[in-house]
Amino acid sequence: MPISTADFKNGRCIKYNGKLWTITEFQHVKPGKGAAFVRTKLRDVRSGRVVDYTFNAGAKFDDVRLTSRKMQYLYNDGTDYYFMDPSTYEQISIPTEQIGDTAKWLKENDNATLNYAGDELISVDPEMFVELEVTKTEPGFKGDTVQGGTKPATLETGAQVDLPMYINQGDTVQIDTRDGRFVKRI
């Protein structure tokens, strides 16, 4: 369904130059001379890059509906990741390439959000905080404190993170998936 610049709202998704963009800012400008125009900041749905564009007032665009579904991550078989809708028990598979770096935060039976633009899957987002077991790290020593340095560690999903010195192998830690930062020991 086409929309014009008069229908712009922050957060709305449009198709422009073959790409999907969300409107982060827009401003209608009516100069003293000349035609009105609209200045915008658009975020590329796939890459997250923000770009400035200027459009003539009344320009038409395809409107794209953004939806998200909460799904439960079941397992992966090496080529696909499998998710289940907890209310309908419908299962879907997503190729490993499409999951990308998100895979390091997915643990079996945890929830994830699948984001769609129309019928096309555009991203898989894990929960904001995940609890994972430390499978490999150097042992901590007496006197290591919270204020001390950090050490590299490997989590049960294969993710590499820096943890405080007092965390040991076998401990369960909470990690912020937005930046891979340690939050607390569980």
Q: Which CATH architecture has domain 130-185?
A: Beta Barrel (2.40)
Report pLDDT digits (tens) over 42-87.
Answer: 998 877 789 999 999 999 999 888 899 999 999 999 899 999 999 9
Q: Tell me the whole-structure pTM to 2 decimals.
A: 0.74
**What tens digit of pLDDT does each residue of 88-98 get?**
999 999 999 88
Is the Cβ–Cβ distance between 8 and 29 less than 8 Å? no
* Strands annotated E in the chain: 2-4, 13-16, 19-29, 37-44, 50-56, 60-64, 66-76, 80-84, 91-95, 111-117, 120-126, 129-137, 150-155, 160-164, 172-176, 181-185
Fold equal for 66-126 and 130-185: yes
Question: What residue segments make up the domains of the chain, in order of their start?
Answer: 2-64, 66-126, 130-185
State which fold the 2-64 domain adopts.
SH3 type barrels. (2.30.30)
User: Would you state the structure tokens that stand for residue 156, as one six-digit string?
Assistant: 């049960």
pLDDT at residue 146, rounded to an integer: 52
What integer is the mean pLDDT of 33-50? 89
Superfamily of domain 66-126: Nucleic acid-binding proteins (2.40.50.140)
